[in-house]
Amino acid sequence: MPSQKSRILVVEDEAIVALDIQSRLRYMGYDVAGVASTGEDAVDKAGKLKPNLILMDIMLEGGMDGIEAAGLIKENFGIPVVYLTAYADKQTLERAKITNPFGYIIKPFEDRELQTTIEMAVYKYETDRKLVLSERLLATTLKSLGEAVVTTGADGLVRFLNPVAEQFLGVKLEEAQGRTLPELLRHDDSCMAGFGSHTCRFTRSSGESVPIETNVSPILDDWGGTVGSVLVFRDISERVKSERNLREYVASLRESLEATVEALAVTAEKRDPYTAGHQQRVAALATAIAAELGLDGDRLEGLRVAGLLHDIGKIYIPAEILAKPSTLTNIEMGLIKTHSEVGFDILKNIPFPWPVAQCVLQHHERLNGSGYPAGLSDGQISEEAKILSVADVVEAMSSHRPYRAALGLDRALGEVKRNRGVLYFPDAVDACLGLFESGRFSFEMEERA
């Protein structure tokens, strides 16, 4: 069920299909805001109903198709659109891209695919909208800051104050003339640390300390001599506050992303309780290996997220197969092997700042091309996926499975060592062995942490 009930406008010109979509949406807990069968009707109802999301068929009755309607809706109302269509030809896709859709689902589709796309589209839209609003707030604050201007002569005495400076300093021009800047500003020494820009604190007559930004420029005569100076300063209290709020907001977005990742990871493990904790342990080992190889912090975070989600595609596999206590048949094993592609399909439209979906897709590929799903070889597999595959094999062999007892860490490490350079990335294997042999990593250590 969606975490928050979204109102969805369905745009579909086939009545039976429209009824089916409405039924599915209501079953999944969404509110159907309305139904439109033409592009013109879709634009009209989008403006009147203000839904959270629009499911848009491309081929519609009338003179306006779904892509044209989506363009007008984006321009006039900014409502996110997900295309729900049977058309996936190159020309249609290129046209659809122009409208920047929040998803593209090909008919026929499964409820899980529809719900995942809707949830991710709404999440992305809300995240983008909040970020835009935050940026507008910050921009408005910066543009509204008044600048105070003070000029002095060669003797350092004040010659001019503008009205903003008068208000800020609490003195009139007549009172300020003939006095020095240090007398007026009541600032710390950094405010007047030579020409250029500085930040410092100004103490008001009330005793309040205010952060200010100053820029001091010389006034030059025709021969380049300094005959005075111009001091421009502004109260940056609001900017400092806004920047702090923005940092907190970005941190909040990261927390929301982390919560989403954790929720997706738990979803996969609920389907396969015998591997509970597997994704977390694989993520921990993969990031430890990557750190040994010198990957930077951003790539480490992307690999950690990929590790937490690498088996998300198992939600597609029947639970009785995942929990089967005996050897799997070829058909069952073939179904299991689809999980990396399913995981890719689930994650590919999520706007992660890292190539998470690609890493999930490739984590069962092998250097010699014997892996799946695409039989990629060494140069075609990303470094993150090669690292993740080593961590996945070591953890999986070390742990209990319904169809076999745990094989133990020694056999797991022996497997990657024996096939180093054949199946597994040599650098990742070496780093993995070094971590365990030195005692700097263990699964028990990670679980205690």
Span 123-140, mean pLDDT?
74
Q: What is the pLDDT of residue 123?
A: 86
User: Quick one: 288 and 411 in the same domain?
Assistant: yes
Q: Decide if pLDDT at 62 tops 90.
A: no
User: Quick one: 89 and 186 in the same domain?
Assistant: no
User: Quick one: 411 and 283 in the same domain?
Assistant: yes
What residue numbers bound the domain in which 399 lies? 243-448
User: Quick one: 134 and 191 in the same domain?
Assistant: no
Which of 219-223, 264-268, 345-349 is the least confident region? 264-268
User: Quick one: 70 and 166 in the same domain?
Assistant: no
Mean pLDDT, the chain, rounded, equals 83
Query: What percentage of the chain exceeds 90 in pLDDT?
Result: 27
- Looking at residue 226, which CATH number applies to its domain? 3.30.450.20
Phi-psi region of 62 (alpha: psi -120 to 50; beta: other; left: phi over 0): left
- Looking at residue 62, which CATH number applies to its domain? 3.40.50.2300
Phi-psi region of 256 (alpha: psi -120 to 50; beta: other; left: phi over 0): alpha
User: Quick one: 131 and 154 in the same domain?
Assistant: no
* Helix ranges (DSSP H) in 206-296: 237-271, 278-292
Among 142, 159, 177, identify where a domain stops. 142
Residue 168 lies in a domain: yes
Task: Give dist(CA 308, CA 327) in Å, integer.
Answer: 26
Q: Decide if pLDDT at 315 tops 90.
A: no
Q: What is the pLDDT of residue 413?
A: 92
User: Quick one: 287 and 410 in the same domain?
Assistant: yes
103-112, 126-135, 410-419: range with highest mean pLDDT: 410-419
Reduce the secondary structure of 112-137 to three states and give it as a string.
HHHHHHHHHHHHHHHHHHHHHHHHHH
Among 192, 215, 235, identify where a domain stops. 235
Residue with tokens 């799997």: 328
User: Quick one: 405 and 260 in the same domain?
Assistant: yes
Query: What percentage of the chain exceeds 70 in pLDDT?
Result: 88
User: Quick one: 183 and 210 in the same domain?
Assistant: yes
Q: How confident is the model at residue 101 (pLDDT cuts 50, 70, 90)?
A: confident
Count of domains forming the chain: 3
Residue 1 lies in a domain: no
Q: Decide if pLDDT at 138 tops 80.
A: no
Whole-number Cα distances in Å, 433 to 111, 297, 358, 365: 43, 22, 26, 21
Whole-prediction pTM: 0.48
Residue 183 lies in a domain: yes
Span 184-197, mean pLDDT?
62
3-state DSSP assignment of residue 370:
coil
User: Quick one: 426 and 304 in the same domain?
Assistant: yes
User: Quick one: 137 and 164 in the same domain?
Assistant: no
User: Quick one: 125 and 48 in the same domain?
Assistant: yes
Residue 2 lies in a domain: no
Residue 283 lies in a domain: yes
Among 185, 217, 235, identify where a domain stops. 235
